[in-house]
Chains A and B, each alone.
Chain A
Amino acid sequence: MWLALREIARSKGRFALLGGAIGLLVFLNLFQQALLNGLVTDFIGAVENQNSPVLVFSEQARKNVEGSFLSQDQADAIAAVEGVADTALIGQNTFTVLAGGDDADAVLFGYELGGLGEPTALVEGTLPQGANLAVATEADADAGFGIGDEITILADGGPVITVVGLASESRWAVTPTLFVSYETFEAAQLAVNPGSEVVLPSLVAVQPDDGTDLDALTDAIDASVPGTEALTNQEAIDGNPAVVNTSQSFNIILTLGFVVVLVVVAFFFLILTVQKARPLTLLRAVGAPRAFLVRNLVIQIVLVMAAGIAAGLVLTFLAVVTAPVGDVAISVRPSTAISTVLTLFVLALIAGIASIRRVLRIDPIDATVDAA
């Protein structure tokens, strides 16, 4: 152990460079995951944190809430499918509003009060008990969406909505979101589209009968009601086009980042081992067991990785706290940080295999041979 530490102390520059490079790579990796987590939560929080276990989209929408609208006939047919205990209409749209004295964008989720589609992550205040009342998103409370604030839909006859509660992680499309009664949503829609003949629901929320298999129920709805696509809440989240596109791209980038760490650590310690071949041979010749040399190597890998990871974690924390990206509330989940750190340690040890093999191949008799 002391040998490994003394070598690091005497070659601070080299190990600091490696630690710095790993620190930055860890930061890149964690920051991207924080961004992905923040983006995904801000994209789909409103659906993730509502109480309907099954949501029915129009088939044409391809799991996109904005593109989904269903007819009353379809809503009635869904209610009649075997295994459906209850249904409710959900309306969704983005509006220009006056909030806190400024124009702003806001997403309205209209649901039947007391029923399906109700927000489940209330952290302050109450759920709406009538028309023109709303639960807003906690992240936007200081932007004119706090409890008691009035939000006006900017259109002739647009309703004035009062915030009575706040919910966490319940935004939609990275925009302030208001959960209101379905009637309030209809009033807002008609105000901005005065020529419209009808207000159509975006989704139909479904409560299954007790003991009903959700997958079987969604299949039954798809088969029974033409032009619909029923999804469990989790399927609606995972299949959201924004989530699918963002996750795919980020996962490729994250994978490349992990591979870079693996290669950098592997080459660094391999070069170091080759450069130290003669002293290592000498150590073996004077009786140092193989395990001793391998242990020192592993200790160095673990120490450099620990330092790099610590630096990366600090950088990530500072970036998350001080550098918000637009309106996205970026955050690192502890589980994500722990799994990333463990993965990096495992990758670093895998990266050290080539160096370990080199150490194990050292023959003490070579110490008696003139290197020249």
Chain B
Amino acid sequence: MRLAMRELIRRPARFVSAAGPLTLLVLLMLFLGWLLDGLFLGSTGAIRAHGADGFVFSADARESLLRSSVDEGDLNAIAAVDGVESVSGIGVSLLGAEVPGEDDVANVVVAGYQLAGGVLPEPPAPGTAWADRQFNALGAGIGDVVLVGPAATPIEIVGWVDDTNYLLLNTLWVDPETWREIQNANRPDAIVAPGEFQVAAVTTVDGIDEAAVRSAIDATLGTETLTEQEAVLAIPGVPEQNATIGAVIYATAVVVALVVGLFFALITLERTGIYALLKAIGVHNRSLAVGLVTQALLVALVAFIAGGAFGLFLGSVMPAEVPLELSVGRAVFVLIAVAVAAVAGSLASLRRIVRIDPASAIGAGV
């Protein structure tokens, strides 16, 4: 193992051939992962923001937030179900908005809600909004007035909330009446009635069987109540994104294993004579294998650091339309995946090492 380390330190150029492609593959995996996280978090924040134990959709909505409808009677009936602690109606409108300092119209979500929960404080005063902090990127600040929809309904930003966007659109959180006014003023083809919302976020009493409460709500109202995770996965495109980009990430990890295997096979071939000599003086196959795996892991680590640095740079220069979420968790996942792939790939050379005959060191059999 010490020999392997010394070789790495004294002859680093020998390992550039493996580290170069690996760096690019790490960059690819990190970029894919960060993209997946960015797409997921940017699409689902408005659901996760409430910290609710369940979301009640009307039965005919097919789990679509925009097509669901619950009224005041439904909210009261949900609140009366055993085990329900609180119920908050939620409604969203997808509209264009004029943001101060911006020439182009921005797409925004105006979301009305009733109760504080999760990352959301109590609803703001009528005509004002908690804005998702991503509005900063559009140049908006606290005190700015955003003109929403064709009716140019004014909403003043009075504070920030984090990670609350929906379908990659920046969200303005308002009180229920302001939401209904905005919806009805700007979408006369989709009027909402007084007391009407789209879904209800439900919080259950601590320690109770949440699944039983959700079932009881559906049995009482004929609705469809989803967990937070189910509601998130019901957002159009989210499951497909997770499945496809996830599959590409795992396939890339297989390529990493192949590339490591390929380059360590070449390096092993180059060192056949030295390995024979080492075996002739009594070094065990196991020691040689440990040295090889150590080298593969260290090369993978260097590639991870270099790929990570490239990734951070790339992330900083990407246009805002590419939703990257530079998360540490994803980086750790990639590090583990690359390390496992490097070990698997390097072990491909093990067979060749075992087959080396120590006698060949002195020319026997040649």
Contacts and interface: CB of A to CB of B under 8 A. Distances in A.
Judged by DSSP, the binding face of A is helix
Nearest to B267: A271
Contacts of B258: 17, 20-21, 24
Interface residues of B, number: 62
13 contacts: A14-B266, A21-B259, A67-B94, A193-B190, A195-B192, A248-B319, A252-B322, A253-B28, A253-B35, A260-B255, A270-B17, A275-B266, A328-B240
Interface of B: 16-18, 20-21, 24-25, 27-28, 31-32, 35, 39, 60-62, 64, 66-67, 94-96, 104-107, 149-150, 168, 187-193, 236-237, 239-240, 243-244, 248, 251-252, 254-255, 258-259, 261-263, 265-266, 269-270, 318-319, 321-323, 348
A264 interface: yes
A198 interface: yes
A21 B262 contact: yes
Interface in A184-207: 189, 192-193, 195-200
B344 to A, nearest CB: 13
A54 B78 CA distance: 48
A296 to B, nearest CB: 18
A326 B193 CA distance: 36
Contacts of B18: 267
Judged by DSSP, the binding face of B is helix
Contacts of A248: 319, 321-322
Given A17-B261, A18-B262, A252-B322, 7 more contacts: A28-B248, A31-B248, A67-B107, A196-B188, A252-B31, A263-B20, A327-B240
A363 interface: no
Given A196-B191, A267-B263, A253 B32 contact: yes
Contacts of A259: 24
A189 B16 CA distance: 63
A224 interface: no
A367 to B, nearest CB: 20
Q: How large is the interface on A (under 10, 10 to 19, 20 to 34, 35 or more residues)?
A: 35 or more
B269 A14 contact: yes
Contacts of A105: 62, 64
Contact of B20 (A241, A267, A327): A267
B31 A256 contact: yes
Contact of B60 (A35, A96, A253): A96
Contacts of B237: 174
A256 B107 contact: no
Interface stretch (A55-63, A112-120, A141-149): A55-63
Nearest to A154: B60
Interface in A7-55: 13-14, 17-18, 20-21, 24-25, 27-28, 31-32, 35
Contacts of A60: 95-96, 105, 149-150
A103 interface: yes
A60 B93 CA distance: 13
A160 B92 CA distance: 29
Contact of A61 (B24, B96, B323): B96
A196 B192 CA distance: 8
B150 A227 contact: yes
Contacts of B32: 253
